[in-house]
């Protein structure tokens, strides 16, 4: 009798386990962020007072971008007959940026779907369907991560700018860009420009950054 090999892709599980492990390792880091943020808020640090209120908008944008990504995945799967291996196959052996993008897509799709069969023969379609519980978790996780990312940003910028007497925010670095005017005790004036960047880790985890740079030749 001809031997038929049934493939159970180990790659389907391993990236997800790595992603979960990475999240668990953030616990101590999150505690440090929480403590530091509370310190700056209690001190009424001008920088924290100016930028912390936009945390609400960071969560709104996280929800919006996550919902858009879910819609994008749904449309792609539908266009590919709900064959997950056709829409987002595991990338061929290699490396570099193109491999990383393909791997991120592979992991993302499998965070949002359930398969009709847990195993399949090589070359056959691996049919799936979008799962409402997984989608809800994906969106909630995205917002939770955005919250931690924003708290870390507030703490980092407070440390980066240091002591100051005054801070005023103009613009919105969540949806566009912002300019933070600073005045220090020695009457030195600074302006810091910030814009949000959306990133995805090699394990398919989304995270945000708000790089801020001090502008030259600007007065507060």
Residue 180, classed as helix, strand or coil, is strand
The H or E element that residue 209 is part of is: strand 206-209
Instruction: Yes or no: say if 109 and 171 are a contact pair by the CB < 8 Å rule.
Output: no
The CA–CA distances, whole Å, from 168 to 8, 189, 194 equal 56, 12, 13
pLDDT of residue 50: 96
Lowest mean pLDDT among 26-35, 113-122, 125-134, 205-214: 113-122
d(CA 126, CA 142): 27
Query: Which tens digit of pLDDT belongs to each residue from 49-89?
Result: 999 999 999 999 999 999 999 999 999 999 999 999 999 99
Classify 200 as helix, strand or coil: strand
For residues 129-141, average pLDDT: 96
- ∠ Cα 160 37 163 (to 5°): 40
Q: What is the 3-state secondary structure (H, E, C) of 79-119?
A: HCCCEHHHHCCCCCCCCHHHHHHHHHHHHHHHHHEEECCCC
For residue 187, pLDDT beyond 70: yes
Give the residue carrying structure tokens 């910030």. 194
134 membership: H or E segment, kind and range? helix 132-161
For residue 216, name the pLDDT band (cuts at 50, 70, 90).
Answer: confident
Query: Residue 218 — very low, low, confident or very high, per pLDDT cuts 50/70/90?
Result: low
Mean pLDDT of 147-161: 95
Mean pLDDT of the chain: 85
pLDDT the model gives residue 217:
64
pTM of the model: 0.80
């Amino acid at each position: 009798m001809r031997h038929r090999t049934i493939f159970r892709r180990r790659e389907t599980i391993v990236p997800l386990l790595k992603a979960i492990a990475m999240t668990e390792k953030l616990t101590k880091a999150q505690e440090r962020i929480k403590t530091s943020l509370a310190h700056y808020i209690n001190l009424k640090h001008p920088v924290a007072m100016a930028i912390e209120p936009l945390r609400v908008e960071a969560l709104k944008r996280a929800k919006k971008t996550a919902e858009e990504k879910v819609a994008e995945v749904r449309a792609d799967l539908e266009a590919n007959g709900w064959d997950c291996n056709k829409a987002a196959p595991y990338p061929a052996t290699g490396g570099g940026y193109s491999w990383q993008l393909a791997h991120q897509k592979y992991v993302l799709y499998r965070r949002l779907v359930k398969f009709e069969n847990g195993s399949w023969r090589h070359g056959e379609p691996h049919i799936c369907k979008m799962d409402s519980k997984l989608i809800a978790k994906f969106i909630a996780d995205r917002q939770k991560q955005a919250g931690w990312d924003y708290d870390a940003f507030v703490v980092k910028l407070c440390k980066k700018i240091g002591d100051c007497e005054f801070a005023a925010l103009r613009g919105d670095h969540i949806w566009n860009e912002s300019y933070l005017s600073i005045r220090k005790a020695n009457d030195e004036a600074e302006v810091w420009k910030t814009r949000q960047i959306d990133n995805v880790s090699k394990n398919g985890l989304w995270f945000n950054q708000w790089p801020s740079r001090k502008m030259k030749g600007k007065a507060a």
